Amino acid sequence: MQTLNAMHSKKPDKIPMKNINETVYVTSGADAAAAASNTLRADVKSLSFWYGENRALSSVSMPVWDRKITALIGPSGCGKSTLLRSFNRMHDLYPGNRYDGEIRLYPEDRNLIEMDPGLVRLRVGMVFQKPNPFPKSIFENVAAGLRVRGIHRRAVLDERVEKSLKDAALWNEVKDRMHDSAYSLSGGQQQRLCIARALAPQPDLLLLDEPTSALDPIATAKIEDLLTGLRQSVTVIIVTHNMQQAARISDLTGYMHMGELIEYGDTGELFTNPREKRTSDYITGRFG
Amino acid sequence: MASSPGKQPAQPELESIVRGNRRSDLVMAGIGMIVLLVAMALLAAVFIDLAVKGWPRLINPDFYINFPSRHPEQAGILSAAVGTTLVMLVTALVAIPLGVAAGVYLEEYAARSWITDVIEINVSNLAGVPSIIYGLLALGLFVHAFGLGETILTAGLVLALLILPVIIVATREAIRSIPLELREAAYGLGADKWQTVRLYVLPAARPGILTGAIVGLARAIGEAAPVITIGALTFIAFLPPPPVQAQPPFINFEWLSSPFTVMPIQLFNWVSRPQAEFHINAAATGVVLMVMTLGMNGLAIYIRYRLRRDAR
Amino acid sequence: MTNAASVVIEVQHNRSFGGASEKFLRRRAMQAAIARCILFAAAAASVLVTVGIVYVLVTESASFFSHVSIRDFLTDTQWTPVFENARFGVMTLVSATLTVAGIALAFAVPAGMALAIYLSEYARPGIRETVKPFLELLEGVPTVVYGFFAVLFVTPLLQIFLPELSGFNLLAPGLVMGIMILPYTASVSEDAMRAVPMGLREAGYALGYSRFRVAAQVVIPAALSGITAAFILGMSRAVGETMVVAVAAGQNPNFGFDPMEGAATITAYIVQMAMGDLPHGSIAYQSVFGAGIVLFVITLIFNVLGFYMRRRFREVY
């Protein structure tokens, strides 16, 4: 409750960081055991972020578990996309942005905020809000990430492209038209193509930024299915506007509000028994 | 699949890719910079070449007050400078009202119809017609069919038509940038469309239109091809009658039908002579022309920069 | 009757609210109608310019083609309009025109692309904001000045390395014309590249692409029709450019594509004829319009092509 009061104080900046940013971490007994047996893929440690003068993230801390789907939810402008885009240093493309804090990348335990952004992006894949295939063939879109890693052998490309398209549940729809333009696909297919493109280089971490917000319900269901199918093999962080989606597909959920991670933990726990009033207000629809 | 350690690309491999990326980026940025520097160096070379070659004439006051002459060291640009001024007067008086009116019509009045489409395609096509084709238009139509002859009026008209698209486009862009709130405020007062345009939109768009007019006139000053085509003389050792006079009616239109020459033609004439002494005159004329056109373009860019800064 | 009544009611309505008199409102409506007519006339006048151009070119060259067969015009390789035995093979002029424009493009395409990529993908916003006006400034240099530069600076300079280069040649004006269209092509292609949505670039960067790779494999393919339009329109400018070739390319109509020798282009020929005092109505006078209509058609094809490509590009983004 002390934390809550601090949050509602009019000048939160004056309050020492420790107090305002006390994220509540929830875990059920069973999941705590599972988590203990699991390994860390990444670990966010008091990360803050500024767009010029505007602070978009305040001291967020969050472990990312290997081969789990982690969902980030929260109202518009809460910083969930900002946090997501920090994982592959997308912010570095635009001037005037600044990070403070760490995102440790495992197994080698390096702070990715201090790594070369190009190197980070070779290891962390991303799928965007709007499908953004390149103006090339379907095959070349999926192969793009392999080619940039110097893989040009046809046999390897064919195999990896096919596997990624199967993982993205798109193979059956496109296997006879691999050399058609990617723009000939429907919006939902384009987004699955983008997922295949991100999967092909076997990223350590896959970021999804509201991947279904531009799609119709049927296409959304297909993407949710494929994500569920990936949960045992890939580490995924997904930002979503849609709480049901988070509840359906994720293992862990973080609720963000005004640049802070309010509550983070096991998805079932968080949705059925939130510890924070703001979280329960949001998930019951009283706010946001 | 991502986490199966066997398949994961080895770290050093990725780092060598990143190094390769950095190298290609550096090379590309370097090439871009070099092209940019070469372009700047070329502009400097054009100007310095002219200034150095033309220097002896540029510092001689006679150059500015003498007529052209068979003796290069006595030749001057007086008649060309006066000719350019008078031709530009005609051009501005024709092109600016016509271009602004057409721009206002297209932006404020034109309904979506095939007539509007024809006019719009026409304007963008006119912008791409080579200037010498305008010269042929003037030669066939103004000089011979209308009987206007090889006069200041003909030259002014043809250059006005040439820069018309520039002014139309600038007017449209300026009007488009006027916020909707301003119009709504005017209509809210009970103004009708014409009042809104005349009293609120056009005054607000004035700096943008001015920019377009300056750029257009700068282009007209430097144009030689259409004026040569109508058959402008190159050797003019007299001045046209002045447009204003002391006796009533104070304004005199005889100058419009006077033969003339302009500075780009004078330059062309001198650079085409075999004697190197005339090239000095050509270079000096080039400096004067460049100072005028670059000065006008610079002024237009500055006005636009101020506009953008104020808009923020 | 009902109409008139409703007008009266409306006027009274206005009077009671705005205090504007009936007379004033009628005058205002009249002014608005007149203004509208004048504005429309001005816009329509721009169409008359095109009509005038086509009319003049067609009528004057019609009498030209009544003396010269179109077949000879297009196939003969001699252009000797003022000789006793006049011959009118326009390909002579076209070959020189295309050679100069080709050289210009050979320079302007790689340089313009490099500059556009640099400005759109590499340069910091501050640099871009400074360079763009500078490019505009370069566009404002009078072409006759470039002609001076070509004949009295570039040609002597090239002759140091190519001693066999003639005093009048196609190489120097071609290169200078390349410099001349560079700002235009660079700035239009840069606009096209910048119009490519950021999301597409982010897709590339998210895969670990370098800037160069993003430019070469994402931005350029996406902006290709816009970039092509820039160079087609640049080509059109080079074909129609007059003063540089009139000063530096010489006036001999030679059929061929040798850049080391001088040759008259279409535009240079028109200038040359206009400088001499041609009797109105003579065949030599009409040949100017014959050459002019060829120039007009060539540039029109380029312009329509460029216009179409640009429009297609705008439809995508």
CA C195, CA C209: separation in Å to the nearest integer? 20
Is A122 in contact with B18 (Cβ distance < 8 A)? yes
The tens digit of pLDDT for each residue in A190-204 reads 999 999 999 998 888
Judged against a pLDDT cut of 80, whether residue A70 lies above it is answered with yes
Mean pLDDT along residues B149-175: 93
**DSSP calls for A134-200:** -SSBHHHHHHHHHHHTT---HHHHHHHHHHHHHHTT-HHHHTT-TTSBGGGS-HHHHHHHHHHHHHT
Q: Of B35-44, B176-185, B238-247, C295-304, which range is least confident?
A: B238-247
When divided into structural domains, chain C yields a total of 2
Q: Is residue C73 part of a domain?
A: no
User: Residue by residue, what is the 3-state secondary structure of A98-141?
Assistant: EEEEEEEECCCCEEHHHCCHHHHHHHEEEECCCCCCCCCEHHHH
Orientation angle between helical segments B114-126 and C283-316, nearest 10 degrees: 120
Beta-bridge partner residues of A111: A104
Q: Which two tokens stand for residue C302?
A: 């380029």
The answer to whether A277 faces chain B, any CB pair under 8 Å, is no
Q: Which residues of C touch B228 (CB under 8 A)?
A: 246, 271, 274-275
Same domain, B26 and B83: no
Q: Does A276 touch chain B (CB under 8 A)?
A: no
Mean pLDDT on C149-176: 90
Q: Are C96 and C59 part of one and the same domain?
A: no
B24 CB neighbours in chain C (<8 A) are 210, 212-213
In this structure, the answer to whether residues B29 and B69 fall within a common structural domain is no
Inside any domain, residue C81: no
Tokens of C282: 């003579």
Residue A16: predicted pLDDT: 36
**Do residues C189 and C226 share a domain?**
yes
* Complex prediction ipTM: 0.86
Q: Is the pLDDT of residue C197 over 80?
A: yes
- Name which of A132, A136, A147, A207 to mutate to probe chain C: the one with the most chain C Cβ atoms within 10 A of its Cβ: A132
Do C100 and C54 have their domain in common?
no
Q: With a cut of 70, say whether residue B234 has pLDDT above it.
A: no
Look up the domain containing B218 and give its range.
62-311
The answer on C106 and C61 residing in a single domain is no
Q: How confident is the prediction for chain A on average, in pLDDT?
A: 84
Give a yes or no: residue C85 inside a domain. Answer: no
pLDDT the model gives residue B232: 73
Query: What would the mean pLDDT of C114-139 be, rounded to a whole number?
Result: 87
Shared domain for C200 and C266, answered yes or no, is yes
Q: Give how far Cα B152 sits from Cα of B85, B93, C49, Å.
A: 10, 13, 19
Question: Domain range for residue C14?
Answer: 2-66
C72 in any annotated domain: no
pLDDT of B136 higher than 80? yes
Residues A242 and A76 sit within 8 Å (Cβ to Cβ): no
Last residue of a domain, one of C32, C49, C66: C66
Compute how many other C-beta atoms are within 10 angstroms of the C-beta atom of residue A95: 9
Residues of chain A with a CB closer than 8 angstroms to some CB in chain C? 88, 90, 93, 95, 118-119, 121-126, 128-130, 132-136, 144-145, 148-149, 194, 197-198, 201, 207
B128–C236: do the CB atoms touch at under 8 Å? yes
User: Model confidence over A7-40: pLDDT tens digits?
Assistant: 333 333 333 333 345 777 766 554 554 555 578 8
Pairwise CA distance, residues A116 & A119, whole Å? 5
Measured between beta carbons, the chain C residues lying within 8 angstroms of B157 are none
Mean pLDDT of B176-194: 76
User: pLDDT for C21-44, tens place per residue?
Assistant: 677 778 888 888 999 999 999 999
Lowest mean pLDDT among A27-41, A271-285, C219-233: A27-41
pTM above 0.90, yes or no: no
In sign, the C-alpha dihedral spanning A279, A282, A286, A287 is positive
Residue C304 falls inside a structural domain: yes
The number of distinct structural domains making up chain B is: 2
User: Token match 């590249």: residue?
Assistant: C193
Same domain, C187 and C262: yes
Provide mean pLDDT across the span A116-144: 87
Clarify whether residues B125 and B233 are in a common domain: yes
Residue spans per domain, chain A: 2-283
Q: Are A167 and B1 a contacting pair at CB < 8 A?
A: yes
What's the pLDDT at A35?
Answer: 55
- Please tell me the predicted confidence (pLDDT) of residue B189: 65
Same domain? For C24 and C127 the reply is no
Contacting residues of A for B4, CB less than 8 Å apart: 233
In a domain, B255, yes or no: yes
More confident residue, A190 or A118: A190
User: Is B49 within 8 Å of chain A by CB?
Assistant: no
Taking CA–CA distances from C199, the nearest residue in chain A reads: A132
Partners of B251 in the beta sheet?
Answer: B244
Of C114, C137, C95, C108, the C-alpha closest to C262 is C95
Q: Are residues B130 and B19 in the same domain?
A: no
Q: Is the same domain home to C100 and C248? A: yes
Q: Is residue C132 part of a domain?
A: yes
Residue of A nearest to B13 (CA): A149
Q: Is B190 left (phi over 0), alpha (psi -120 to 50) or beta?
A: left
Ordered alpha helix ranges (H), B59-151: 62-65, 78-104, 114-126, 131-137
Please check whether residues C59 and C105 belong to one and the same domain: no
Nearest residue in C to B284, CA atom: C145
For C78, residues 6+ apart whose C-beta sits below 8 A from its C-beta are C87, C89, C92, C253, C255
**C-beta atoms of B225 and C246 within 8 A:** yes
C311/C315 Cα distance (integer angstroms)? 6
pLDDT of res. C20: 58
Mean pLDDT of B30-43: 87
Smallest Cα distance from B246 to chain C, Å: 35
| C15 closest CA partner among C2, C6, C24 | C24
> Is residue C138 located within the same domain as residue C201?
yes
DSSP A11-71: -GGGS-HHHHT-PEEE--HHHHHHHHHS-EEEEEEEEEEEETTEEEEEEEEEEEETT-EEE
C-alpha A201: how far from chain center: 17
Size of interface A-B (CB pairs under 8 A): 48
- C43–B110: do the CB atoms touch at under 8 Å? yes
CB of A13 less than 8 A from some CB of B: no
% residues pLDDT > 90 (chain C): 44
| Residue C145 and residue C22 in one domain | no
Interface test with A, best of C196, C207, C211 (most A CBs within 10 A): C207
Task: Kindly state whether C203 is in contact with chain A, defined as any CB-CB distance less than 8 angstroms.
Answer: yes
CATH number of residue B157's parent domain? 1.10.3720.10
Q: Does B19 touch chain A (CB under 8 A)?
A: no
Q: Beta strand pairing status for A54-65 and A252-257?
A: unpaired
Is C83 within a domain?
Answer: no
- Asked whether the beta carbons of residue A126 and residue C206 sit closer than 8 angstroms, the reply is yes
Residue C316 identity (one-letter amino acid):
V
Is B101 inside a domain boundary? yes
Mark whether B53 and B82 lie in a shared domain: no
CATH tag for A2-283 (out of 3.90.110.10, 3.40.50.300, 3.30.360.10, 3.90.79.10): 3.40.50.300
What was the pLDDT predicted at A286? Answer: 67
d(CA C116, CA C127): 13
